[in-house]
Amino acid sequence: MGRKQKAVGRKAAPISVRSMRGAIIPTNLRREEKMATPELKQFADLTPEDFEHHPVWIGCHTVDYDEPWYDSTDEETFRPWTGKLPAGASEGMLLVRATLELHDGTRHNGFVTPASKEGDLATQQPQIFAGARRFGFWGGIFGVPQNERQALCAALGKTPNQVFPLRFSVDPSLATGVTNGQVEGFYRLTPKGAQVEQ
């Protein structure tokens, strides 16, 4: 899909168009709104403070392709969600503030992506903040490296038995979809399905 080129020359008279959601929006107003560049952050740079300020973030690359600042983004770029809450899981790639409770009852901040079905950790991919770092539990076909697993326990000051199983949950006022679940350990995808490692 090619991107639309900006019109040049004399300003056209305001024309009303119907948005995808059915609202009538003046095109000149839409153009002015698009000029403002939102706060853009790479996935790896997101911090607990970012989720305190903006509890929901959305991936730019699949929803903002018609924005003038789109070329400044890639698949790892996120911006604060500016729509109504709770955000719908179908809106795009969402990252939603979550609470992760370790097996010993200790709670930590993190985030999760809403899924459409229970137990879909490959979609949810819960992340936890610990010791000024962020850790994930889903490692895909390669798994989570041993040194990363050890680093998480060291950052938490816990043994694996104190950490797992852990539970994660999201305030239902923030997002729809499946936003809670349980993590048994670190996951690696095999031909027979997900394998848990500690």
Residue 10 lies in a domain: no
| 133 within domain boundaries | yes
Task: Say if 8 falls within a structural domain.
Answer: no
> Residue 12 domain-assigned?
no
The model's pTM: 0.81
Identify the H or E element spanning 52: helix 48-53
Q: Specify if 5 maps to a domain.
A: no
Residue 15 counted as domain residue: no
Give the 3-state secondary structure of residue 41: strand
pLDDT tens track, the chain, 198 positions: 444 343 334 333 333 333 333 444 333 334 345 548 999 999 999 999 999 999 999 999 989 999 999 999 999 999 999 999 999 999 999 999 999 999 999 999 999 999 999 999 999 999 999 999 999 999 999 999 999 999 999 999 999 999 999 999 999 999 999 999 999 999 999 999 999 998
pLDDT for 20 equals 36
Q: Do the Cβ atoms of 60 and 37 come closer than 8 Å?
A: no
In a domain, 13, yes or no: no
At 198 the pLDDT is 84
| Tally of domains within the chain | 1
The strand pairing partners of 193, in sequence order, are 190
Per the structure, the complete domain to which residue 74 belongs is given by 21-197
Tell me the backbone φ, ψ of residue 151, rounded to 5 degrees: -65, -35
| Predicted pLDDT of residue 62 | 87
Residue 9 lies in a domain: no
